[in-house]
């Protein structure tokens, strides 16, 4: 039980003392932006397909 706790503390202390926390913050902010953009693109594409398909059905029926 002491081994995992010491390892976790050591891992946290190493990045904090090394200043890696700041680098990790920038790196963490960088990936979320592209990931969110990709998700938004997928959501927009899915919504466009769903709305487009639904719109095509009533539009075709009305036409």
Instruction: Say yes or no: 63 and 37 in one domain.
Output: yes
Please give the share of the chain, as a percent, with pLDDT higher than 70.
0
| Host domain of residue 60 | 32-63
Instruction: Say yes or no: 42 and 22 in one domain.
Output: no
Instruction: Say yes or no: 12 and 26 in one domain.
Output: yes
Q: What is the pLDDT of residue 37?
A: 55
Instruction: Say yes or no: 10 and 20 in one domain.
Output: yes
**pLDDT tier for residue 44 given thresholds of 50, 70 and 90:** low
Instruction: Say yes or no: 7 and 18 in one domain.
Output: yes
pTM above 0.75, yes or no: no
CB 8 within 8 A of CB 2: no
Instruction: Say yes or no: 38 and 62 in one domain.
Output: yes
Q: How many domains does the chain have?
A: 2
Q: What is the pLDDT of residue 49?
A: 60
Cβ partners under 8 Å of residue 7, min gap 6? none
């Amino acid at each position: 039980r002491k081994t995992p706790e010491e390892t976790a503390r050591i891992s946290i202390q190493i990045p904090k003392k090394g200043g890696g926390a700041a680098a990790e913050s920038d790196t963490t902010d960088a990936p979320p932006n592209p990931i969110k953009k990709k998700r938004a693109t997928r959501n927009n594409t899915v919504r466009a397909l769903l709305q487009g398909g639904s719109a095509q059905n009533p539009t075709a029926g009305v036409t």
